[in-house]
């Protein structure tokens, strides 16, 4: 197999559409390149690490501590991208730790070019998925992020405290108007329970 020619871009974004055409003669290789004078070529395809085992059924474990480059850490690229704010918390959307997941190692162009290896902030993870399910390279279920899990515990504790503030005589299902609104510790936004008990 012919070895691809390496293109040493200074910056490689997480999406191949943000890559330039590898050669000035290829500025018309696709519609994206043709419309942007080669700036946004869509011919690039990700080269993903292989899975070492097929996906296995089972529950998702929770990461006990935030990993070294957890998105919830203060100076993470994810938080920098939203102006340094805390990560948004959505109860029904579990945030998964990227540790052990298959990642994109480079991008390859149809004409035989390939980017240099991706590292650091340019890492792009592409694990196998099926609906909401997601797996690591070794086939085990993905791990729930420790940062998201901490916010989830705080949210559930606030829900329980809110529920306990309702007096036993109150059978209407309504929340006490004097009870404090729930605080989303991740985004700093209040989440009051529905006043109609729905």
Q: Is the pTM of this model over 0.85?
A: no
pLDDT greater than 60 at residue 189 = no
Task: Give me the phi and psi of 33, to 5 degrees please.
Answer: -70, -40
Return the closest-CA partner of residue 9 out of 33, 36, 47, 39. 39
Q: Which of 2-6, 144-148, 172-176, 188-192 has the highest mean pLDDT?
A: 144-148
The residue that leads in pLDDT, 166 or 70, is 70
pLDDT greater than 60 at residue 41 = yes
72-121 confidence digits (pLDDT tens): 988 888 888 888 888 888 888 888 998 899 988 888 888 888 877 766 55
């Amino acid at each position: 197999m012919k070895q691809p020619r390496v293109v040493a871009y200074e910056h490689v974004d997480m999406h191949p559409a943000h890559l330039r055409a590898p050669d000035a003669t290829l500025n018309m290789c696709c519609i994206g390149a043709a419309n942007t004078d080669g700036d946004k070529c869509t011919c690039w395809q990700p080269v993903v690490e292989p899975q070492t085992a097929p996906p296995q059924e089972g529950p998702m474990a929770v990461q006990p501590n935030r990993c070294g480059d957890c998105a919830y850490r203060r100076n993470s690229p994810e938080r920098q991208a939203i102006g340094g704010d805390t990560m948004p918390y959505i109860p029904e959307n579990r945030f998964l730790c990227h540790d052990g997941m298959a990642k994109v190692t480079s991008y390859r162009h149809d004409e035989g070019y390939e980017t240099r290896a991706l590292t650091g902030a340019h890492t792009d993870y592409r694990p196998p998925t099926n609906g909401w399910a997601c797996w690591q390279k070794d086939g085990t279920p993905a791990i729930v992020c420790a940062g998201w899990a901490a916010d989830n515990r705080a949210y559930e504790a606030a829900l329980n405290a809110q529920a306990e503030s309702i007096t036993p005589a109150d059978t209407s299902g309504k929340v006490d108007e004097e009870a404090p609104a729930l605080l989303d510790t991740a985004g700093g936004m209040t989440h009051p329970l529905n006043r109609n008990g729905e």
